Amino acid sequence: MSAGPEAVLETQGLTASYGDFQALFGIDLHVRRGETVAIIGANGAGKSTFLRSVVGQLPSAREQVSFEGEPIGHLPAHEIVRRGIALVPEGRLLFPSLSVEENLRMGAYGRRAGPWGIGRVHELFPVLAERRATPGTALSGGEQQMCAIGRALMSNPVLLLCDELSLGLAPVIIRQIYAVLPTIVAEGTTVVVVEQDINQALAVADRVYCFQEGRVSLQGRPEDVSREDVTRAYFGV
């Protein structure tokens, strides 16, 4: 299936390895402008590896990843964020030496013009305004996740990649965090969420990809894929 001209992100035969261990085996995936795409899959399916390849933390070949029609597979992470891709990394990875506000300002280091600034992020997550002077890592897990999302938004990304937003958080917090996605999408941001929580992923996504052992095992619109399809693609049984 061709992505067409409206594709923001497209990968063709994307492979990735950690030393001798190959984690991705030719991923073909595309994301259209304004879409929310979910990537689901079990632990070790290659979801996080995929995101890390897209943002340039893992090396890939020039033509394997293109963004807004241009090949970016060969670029380092710091150049990719300036082109408009931001990642909310797995485990939040806030800077412990920096306050909440400084963490947000760090996100604006490679800033592009756009709607997001400290004020908008504070509107989205008021707790980040209240605790602006606290060290980032002194926040609760959910607040850290909000800070990590805010930090990524500060660069005004065209494409926001979220890795395991729900990891280690209580269900009520997960709902709070997912509740802001529509606001982000309404600003015209294209969103990719990686999730182990299938229900959460299917609820927010326009389209879903399932990864299994480094390959795409299923793709489609949530309403078009059956429970059995998902289970088979997810677990490989």
2's tokens: 């061709």
Is residue 100 a contact point for another protein (CB under 8 A)? no
**Contacts of another protein in 182-201 (CB under 8 A):** none
| Residue 170 C-beta: closest distance to another protein, Å | 25
Q: How far is CA 153 from CA 19, 34, 121, in A?
A: 32, 15, 8
155 or 212: whose CB is closer to another protein?
155
d(CA 74, CA 88): 21
Binding mask of the shown chain, residues 108 to 127, with x at each position contacting another protein by CB under 8 A = -xxx----------------
Identity at 178, one-letter amino acid code: Y
Q: How far is CA 160 from CA 34, 89, 228, in A?
A: 11, 11, 30
> Which of 66, 155, 166, 217 is the binder for another protein (CB under 8 A)?
155
157 or 214: whose CB is closer to another protein?
157
Can you name the residues that pair with 39 across neighbouring β-strands? 194, 209
The CA-to-CA distance between both ends of the chain, in Å, stands at: 26
The contact set with another protein (CB under 8 A) reads 55-57, 76-78, 81-82, 86-87, 89, 93, 95-98, 102, 105-107, 109-111, 151, 155
